[in-house]
Amino acid sequence: MSQAFGHQLLLRFPRPALFSLFASSSSKFCPLFRATAAFATDGAATKQQSTATAAQHQHQQHVQKVEQQQQQPSTTKTEWHLGNRVARLVMDDKRVNSLSLSAMEMLHDTLRELDARPEVRVVILAASGPAYSGGHHLPELTAESGTEMHQKVFNKCLELMTFIRQMQLPVIAEVDGIVAAAGTQLVAACDIVIASGRASFNVAGVKLGLFCATPAVPLSRNLPPKIALDMLLTGRCLEANIAHKFGLVSRLVGTAELRRETLAAAQHICDNSRAVVGMGKAFFYAQLEQNEHDAYRQATATMCDNLKWRDAQEGISAFFTRPRRQPQWTHTDQKVIKD
Chain segment 259-288, per-residue pLDDT in tens: 999 999 999 999 999 999 999 999 999 999
pLDDT score, position 31: 33
Reply yes or no on whether the pLDDT at 233 is more than 70.
yes
The span from the CA of 236 to the CA of 118, in Å, is 42
Q: How many CA atoms lie within 13 A of 211 on its CB side?
A: 8
Tell me whether domains 77-270 and 274-320 share a fold: no
Least confident window among 55-59, 144-148, 186-190, 286-290: 55-59
Q: CB count, 10 Å around CB of 323? A: 4
Domains in the chain: boundaries: 21-70, 77-270, 274-320
pLDDT score, position 8: 38
pLDDT score, position 93: 82
Q: How many CA atoms lie within 13 A of 286 on its CB side?
A: 15
* Full strand arrangement of the beta sheet holding 131-133: 131-133, 178-180, 200-202, 238-239
Reply yes or no on whether the pLDDT at 65 is more than 80.
no
| 329 burial via Cβ count (<10 Å: 0-12, 13-18, 19+) | middle
pLDDT score, position 92: 92
The span from the CA of 176 to the CA of 261, in Å, is 13
Q: Which residue has the higher pLDDT, 75 or 306?
A: 306
The span from the CA of 51 to the CA of 237, in Å, is 43
Nearest-5° angle of CA 89, CA 121, CA 100? 25
Q: What is the H or E stretch that residue 46 is in?
A: helix 45-70
Q: pLDDT by residue (tens digit) across 305-325?
A: 999 999 999 999 999 999 999
Least confident window among 33-37, 216-220, 290-294, 309-313: 33-37
CATH of 274-320, one of 1.20.1070.10, 1.10.12.10, 2.60.120.260, 1.10.486.10: 1.10.12.10
CATH of 77-270, one of 3.40.5.10, 3.30.750.24, 3.40.190.10, 3.90.226.10: 3.90.226.10
Residue 203 near residue 181 (C-beta atoms within 8 A): yes
- Which band of pLDDT confidence, cut at 50, 70 and 90, is reported for residue 175? very high
Reply yes or no on whether the pLDDT at 289 is more than 50.
yes
